[in-house]
Structure 1
Amino acid sequence: MEVVPFRTPGLGDQSYLLTHRGMGVLVDPQRDIDRFLRAAAERRVEPRFVLETHLHNDYVSGARQAALSTGAELVLPAAAAPAYPCTPAFHLEDIHGGRGLVIRPIHTPGHTPEHTGYLVLADGEPAALFSGGSLLVASAGRTDLLGPERARTLARLQYGSLRRLAALPPETPVFPTHGAGSFCASTGTDRRTSTIGAELAGNPLLAVGDAERFADELLADPLPVPAFYRHMGRANILGAPPVPCLRVPELTVAGLPGEATVVDVRPRRVQAEGALPGSVGIELGDDFGLWAGWLLPYGAPLVLAAEPGQDVTEAVVQLARIGADTVRGVVRDLGPAAVQTFTPVDLPTFLERLALPGAQVLDVRTPAERRAVRLDGAVERFLPDLVSEGVPGELDPSRPVLTACASGRRAAIAATLLAGAGHRPVVLDGAGIPDVVAARR
């Protein structure tokens, strides 16, 4: 038996392919299913089951399309009740795959009400637990994604679910779907898999002996919820179509659709030198889809601005993972229409500008980051709030705005939003607010 992980760093998730005697079990696949099917073909295994642990909040599932493409049996929690045929998974009602393989559903509500983990038995012995968004490595799945009104009830359910899983044999391998970098996890860790025994020894939430205190701890410091999450549940209930064509047409500036939002995927230092007015700059990286889904109008037509020769396939794939299938094309020659958006500077230069009379700073980190390290006098607004709430009114557009985060990536994105609102951003690149605070001590 082999368990093959498929990491999606930008979303902090992992899908899995379990192989056993020529059969494959695909767990929580994302929408770009070709990578999973290719891995199965390379190992000469026939997909037998596609399992979904829950209706995902953070991405569009590829489970239905994977099952349709391979003839595998699609299994979802019974209470998910999707709008397409599947095998409903009921608590502790075994699903037999033959050749000594058994799938045992374990109802583990908390992350979502229908959430179900799957214990895989090989020849009667526990071989793997796919825990989805329930028991995570040194953590647990969030319970507040369906709204604050249900968060505490779900947290109490999560308490019981974790203990239900913790009663499994300690040597059972644990393969969560969510992990570090995921906004579905309540906390983060660098480890992606574990065992029941390791979690009993090191997961702080399993050391909490009371459901109400567990809920208090789980809900004490919630992370922000990405804006696109609100669209994922419906997409996964209805069943998404296959990933759209990844090749998009080449456009000119003169031929840009008037209603489209331009998202600039070029390196941020290139964006700084000149970008199309009104464009949103999100340098292409692992978390491009996360920020695009959080900051851009969901479902609106998009145009990518890219460098000559830059491959934009990854950008289209990341957008497809969150159901943003509205890319109308790519423009590569910006020509004289491009204008300077911001000025990137290193830490010493940033500190020099900070010391000037009338200097104003914008900190776009998360609230939790700000509580850990704060820069006195900085205007604080989390990056997505620049879209939902607007640019803080206390920032004077007649003076440069010294913009910072932890590394420069989010500050550069913020700078393009500031420039669109008539400000003159100066971005701390390659360093962040903690570095500024440490240098001023």
Structure 2
Amino acid sequence: MTTTSHVLAEIDRRTDDLIRLTADLVGFDTTVRGAAAEPARDEADLQEYVAGRLRAAGATVDVFTPKPGDLPVSPQTPPGLGFDGRPQLIARFPGTGGAGARSLLFNGHIDVVSAEPRREWTSDPFRAEVRDGRLYGRGTCDMKGGIAAAVVVAEALAALGIRLPGDLLINTVTDEEWNGAGTLASVGYGVRADAAVVPEPTDLDVVVAQRGILGGTVTVAGRPGHAEYPPGDWRTGGAVNAIEKTMPVLTALRRLREQWAEDPAHAHPLLPPPAIVPTTIKGGEWWVTYPASCEVALDVTYLPVQADGGGWASRVRHDIERAVREACADDGWLTANPPRFTWDTELPPAEVPSTHPLVRALTASATAVGRTPRLLGEPSWTDAATLTRLGGTPAVCIGPTATRPDGSPTLHTIDEYIEISDLVATAKALALAALDMTAPAAAAP
């Protein structure tokens, strides 16, 4: 048997262990925090569990807790963000070395979205259950199954006595579902490789591009007054309805979104058009009072071509604010009291060329395990962007199926699940990619 055959057979032999490991990881409640001060859950216990397995397989493991201020300065996270109870993990299986050997990083986030409403689940979301060839539980698909696959690959290689030419690294992180702080902290800690794979759910397609995300709030001012009396003239102290004054702002945002979608300069072969989506609205103080303010939260997605020189959204912010300002120019109140923007979470877009050796290796490995991989873009965002943009590590995603037979997503849903066949296929694809990518690059003809 060839080395490849031995590795694939070893992963098949470890299928039950792969299922158990995924189930074990699901059993740790690592629901993502919604605010900086929210207490930790089971993140530290999960990281120590993974660390123990990787150490037993021969890795050098570092479980570290970033301190406030350790993160690279960027718009991704709030200043002074702490990680008490939320450590990060980096494990290294050293390669044999030699000229041209390349290191490969597997990166995965241990946090999961809320399982609420838990009463609607068929089974306990934190006690994984096998039914009809699927493993159900919060995080099975997104993305504890992918982490388990990476760990089992490393264990399988070690059990077979295979040392790759280049280093194999495994990086498990927190906070991806919030703002990517864990991978950002890992980058600040010095985590680097020649290439990285993030085994997010992708239907075993290879995701090479993703949009950036910008979060913010636009606040429109009004002036309170009794709603059952005529408001009077605002110029002489009359009431102003902030909710009604928000309408031209929403219209301006919709029109800008439509312009972006129609602009050939914003066309991308793999990604949806950029978008501005109002997601929450809060206005008013009392049901018989003209509202004094109205706030609208915005979710903005933008393309790599829209990013500024540093990869961030300064030009996008400028375009949005200008569009709103121009739309308000004919309204005296809004001219005198312009809508106020507050920008917070910002996650960079990224793209890895389709000709990159990692893309070729993953395409070949997915094909070898019986899939027909496509090159795709990610409409949302993953930690691959942080690694690519800020970590000097070109990163792409490949992982298990993320859709039900009807096309609806399995991730972030009630009764989230992963197909067991996909779990095994993901591990095999990662193993083949590791064998390929860590070898010295072939000389150019």
Same-fold call, TM cutoff 0.5: no
TM-score of the two chains, using structure 2 as the length reference: 0.23
Report which structure shows greater RCO (CA 8 Å, sep ≥6).
Answer: 2
Say which structure is richer in strand: 1
TM-score of the two chains, using structure 1 as the length reference: 0.23
